[in-house]
Amino acid sequence: MQEWLTMTACDLGRGIGKGQIDPVELTETYLAAIDAHPHRDRIYACVTHDRARSEAKAAKERAALGLRRSLLDGVPISWKDLFDTAGIGTEAGSALLKGRVPDADALVLRNATAMGTVCLGKTHMSELAFSGLGLNPITDTPPCVDDEDAVPGGSSSGAGASVAWGLAACGIGSDTGGSVRIPAAWNNLVGLKTTAGRLSLEGVVPLCLRFDTVGPLARSVEDAAHMLALLEGGTPADLRGASLKGRRFAELQNVAKDDLRDAPRQAFDDALDRLRDAGAEIVPLEVPELHDAMALSGVLYTTEAYGLWKDVIEASPEAMYPEILERFRAGKDVSGPDYVAAWSKLKACRAAWDAATAGFDAVLAPTAPILPPNLDRLLSDHDYYVTENLLALRNTRIGNLMGLAALTLPTGTAGCGLMMLGYPGSEEALLRLGSAAETALA
Picking from 125, 133, 128, the residue whose alpha carbon sits closest to that of residue 151 is 133
Q: Which helix (H) or strand (E) holds 231?
A: helix 221-232
User: Is 162 noted as a catalytic residue in this protein?
Assistant: no
Quote the radius of gyration of the chain (alpha carbons, Å): 20
Active-site annotation holder among 94, 126, 155, 297: 155
User: Are residues 139 and 146 in contact, defined by beta-carbon separation less than 8 angstroms?
Assistant: no
Question: Which one of 60, 80, 122, 193 is the catalytic residue?
Answer: 80
CA–CA dist 408, 419 (Å, integer): 4
Does 243 participate in catalysis according to the annotation? no
Helix or strand run (H / E) with residue 304: helix 297-315
The sign of the CA dihedral 126, 131, 135, 136 is: negative
Burial of residue 28, with CB atoms counted within 10 A of its CB: 0-12 exposed, 13-18 middle, 19 or more buried? middle
Looking at the DSSP assignment, which residues form a beta bridge with residue 410? 417
d(CA 367, CA 187): 12
Beta bridge partners of 216: 172
User: Is residue 316 among the annotated active site residues?
Assistant: no
- Identity of the residue numbered 245: K
What does the DSSP 8-state code read for residue 410?
A: E
Which of 126, 162, 179, 297 is an active site residue? 179
- Catalytic positions, please? 80, 155, 179
